Amino acid sequence: MARPQTLVDVKVPMRDGVDLSADIFLPEERAPAPTVLIRTPYGNNTDLLIDKGRFLASKGYAAVIQDVRGRWDSDGTYYPVKNEADDGHDTVEWIAEQPWSTGKVGMAGGSYVGITQWTAAWRGSPHLACIVPRVAPCDFYDSPGYTQGAYQLGVLATWGSRTHGRTAQNIEYEDWKRVFRTLPVEQVTAAIGRDLEFWQDWIRHPHYDEYWEQLSNSVQWGNIIAPAYNMGGWFDLYSKATFDNWGEMRLHGGSDEARQSRLIMGPWPHGLSLSRVTGEVDFGEDSLFDLDGDELRWFDYWLKGEQNGIVSEPPLQLFIMGSNEWRGEHEWPLARTDWQTWYFHSRGAANSLNGDGGLSPEAPADEPADTYAYDPMAPVPTLGGNNCCSPHIVPWGPYDQQNIEMRQDVLCYTSDRLQSDMEVTGPIKVVLYAESDCTDTDWTAKLVDVHPDGRALSLCDGIVRARFREGKGTSSLIEPGQVYAYEIDLWVIGNVFRAGHRIRVEISSSNFPRFDRNLNTGAENNGLDDQWTVARQTVHHSKSHPSHIVLPVIPAD
């Protein structure tokens, strides 16, 4: 590999006079080159990014790897996302003026480094020719913020604490089980000695408002002209957002090029294609994908004009779990989807996996309701799922839920054994008819693949805060004892339930610490409350209140 020229700590001026630090890798041949920009809060002087810069330079690209505002060698004050649109745009424009640049810029990176791509793209620079956001959100309120009104405590506390200060902060010595239980939730970061302005702001904005709108792609689609190659994982906290970003770009992107965006979704957590094992499942060698190779093809097409066929391929590449195979698709949801309603059943005792809860396409008769008590001081613990970014603290991916399902506050609705394979690929939704004796509470749902040996592997899950049942922009308390219809978004999945397996839906009222605990008091802001009460919950499945899950079933060829 040819060794590039390296320029260290180059100061890039922003519109407000703040200088941001960048390390620049130039190809051995000194002719102007297309440029790949990576903007990170995690330090640009890491082995991984140095190797990335050298690799790109060896392929004929200039690579600019920049510390974002207020982090590491860059000046200014760090506040998540707030300055990334202007700073990213200003950096793209600066690159286009450099003698070593052709004026064409692409962007790369994952997680927050994906956010810096989307936000820069909002400004519509003609020099930003393409982006490759990996595991990036669509609407910062929905994820990682408030998922249907419930605060994503685990990721925001751990990730937020790591980015406290100018450099990386060690959080591994903390007793997180204790910290997560701090009340009010507003004091969680203070419990480990961090004074985070953005944490306070997040807690004090539980509704979708102007604060969150400025952190959202959802009001920017028409301004984005750079096509995006979206990369995500079924078990990432941005799995749904990855599809939202792709779908909106295909429909509403601000240029013909933007509407040629792509997506790949593998059986991965937040760290994409690093291992064939996610959670407790080995998805096989074919589950690994050369994402860097496809990223380079994307850059070669949009930045160098190489006709390598990448935009002629199916725009969706999906790994279907269970059958463990890749498949190209053209739309989402899939046009051939058979939307099936599977209803909850019981004789009034669906509590735990040893209960009598059933799941089938047959509509319920007038069956007795199921009841349980939800105690915020004894919440259902998180075990796997779409978590980030500390799997040793809050595990991610598919895990056997049998121990969780032994609890009396977890209702289990389980199908008969399937007589043939059944593919479920698409967005998942539970419609729950339920009542509480409190004025606010939470409802959770989880889709589980039950194997013949009894292992109950989680696939996807969701939560809704009762007061946010009508959407994220408004809230209203519930009347104790009144039945409401709650739509719980379980996000997305691509899975074949094999013959002999069973489909299970779990219903409860907590998933902690992935989400904060609803304290059931009806306080104006749950994150500022330190009082709690036990909620007595009732789940209905009758002719008039047919609780169910909607499964996107893909017919066999």
Q: Are the C-beta atoms of residues 461 and 386 closer than 8 Å to each other?
A: yes
User: Which has the closest alpha carbon to 95: 62, 68, 136?
Assistant: 62
How deeply is 378 buried, as exposed, middle or buried, from its count of CB atoms within 10 A (0-12, 13-18, 19+)?
A: middle
| CA dihedral of 271, 275, 280, 284, whole degrees rounded to 10 | 130
Give the three-class secondary structure for 210: helix
How deeply is 308 buried, as exposed, middle or buried, from its count of CB atoms within 10 A (0-12, 13-18, 19+)?
A: middle
Q: Can you list the domains of the chain with their CATH numbers?
A: 1-134 (3.40.50.1820), 144-203 (no CATH), 338-554 (2.60.120.260)
Take residue 284 and report the two structure tokens written for it: 């096989």
pLDDT digits (tens, 9 = 90+) for 423-455: 999 999 999 999 999 999 999 999 999 999 999
Confidence of residue 171 (pLDDT cuts 50, 70, 90): confident
Give the β-pairing of 62-67 and 33-40. Answer: parallel
User: Which has the closest alpha carbon to 357: 412, 432, 431, 433?
Assistant: 412
Residues forming the active site: 111, 236, 270
Report the distance separating Cα 270 and Cα 134, nearest Å. Answer: 9
Q: Helices marked H in 29-73 — which ranges? A: 47-58
Least confident of 30-34, 166-170, 374-378: 166-170
Binning the chain into helix, strand and coil, the percentages to the nearest 5 are 20, 30, 45
pLDDT digits (tens, 9 = 90+) for 333-380: 999 999 999 999 999 999 999 999 999 999 999 999 999 999 999 999
CA distances from 208 to 107, 270, 474 (A): 29, 25, 8
pLDDT digits (tens, 9 = 90+) for 213-263: 999 999 999 999 999 999 999 999 999 999 999 999 999 999 999 999 999
Beta bridge partners of 278: 281
CA distances from 540 to 351, 433, 547 (A): 13, 5, 6
Does the CA dihedral 293-299-302-307 come out positive or negative?
A: negative
Report the distance separating Cα 176 and Cα 173, nearest Å. Answer: 9
* Residue 4, φ and ψ in degrees, nearest 5: -80, 170
Confidence of residue 162 (pLDDT cuts 50, 70, 90): confident
**Chain position carrying tokens 């890749």:** 326
483 pLDDT above the threshold of 60: yes
Average pLDDT of every residue of the chain: 96
pLDDT digits (tens, 9 = 90+) for 212-226: 999 999 999 999 999
Contact partners, residue 516, CB within 8 Å, separation at least 6:
150, 151, 153, 185, 526, 527
| CA dihedral of 207, 208, 212, 213, whole degrees rounded to 10 | -160
Report the distance separating Cα 213 and Cα 282, nearest Å. Answer: 39
Q: Are the C-beta atoms of residues 262 and 246 closer than 8 Å to each other?
A: yes
Report the distance separating Cα 19 and Cα 389, nearest Å. Answer: 29
Percentage of residues of the chain with pLDDT beyond 90: 93
Report the distance separating Cα 209 and Cα 148, nearest Å. Answer: 14
173 pLDDT above the threshold of 60: yes
3 pLDDT above the threshold of 80: no
Mean pLDDT of 531-545: 98
The upper half-sphere exposure of residue 513, i.e. CA atoms within 13 Å in the direction of its Cβ, equals 24
Q: For position 557, what pLDDT does the model report?
A: 79
Q: Are the C-beta atoms of residues 281 and 457 closer than 8 Å to each other?
A: yes
Q: For position 390, what pLDDT does the model report?
A: 86
Mean pLDDT of 315-328: 98
* Residue 313, φ and ψ in degrees, nearest 5: -80, 160
Report the distance separating Cα 282 and Cα 398, nearest Å. Answer: 10
Provide the residue count of the chain. 557
Report the distance separating Cα 238 and Cα 270, nearest Å. Answer: 8
Give the amino acid at 389: C
Q: For position 29, what pLDDT does the model report?
A: 86
pLDDT digits (tens, 9 = 90+) for 396-410: 999 999 999 999 999
1 pLDDT above the threshold of 80: no
pLDDT digits (tens, 9 = 90+) for 457-481: 999 999 999 999 999 988 999 999 9
Report the distance separating Cα 366 and Cα 356, nearest Å. Answer: 15
Q: For position 158, what pLDDT does the model report?
A: 92
Helix (H) or strand (E) holding 101: strand 101-110
Q: For position 170, what pLDDT does the model report?
A: 80
CB atoms inside a 10 Å sphere around CB 364: 20
User: Which has the closest alpha carbon to 69: 3, 140, 142, 163?
Assistant: 163
DSSP 8-state secondary structure symbol assigned to residue 545: S
Give the three-class secondary structure for 526: helix
Report the distance separating Cα 154 and Cα 203, nearest Å. Answer: 14
**Chain position carrying tokens 């589950």:** 287
Helix (H) or strand (E) holding 162: helix 153-162
38 pLDDT above the threshold of 60: yes
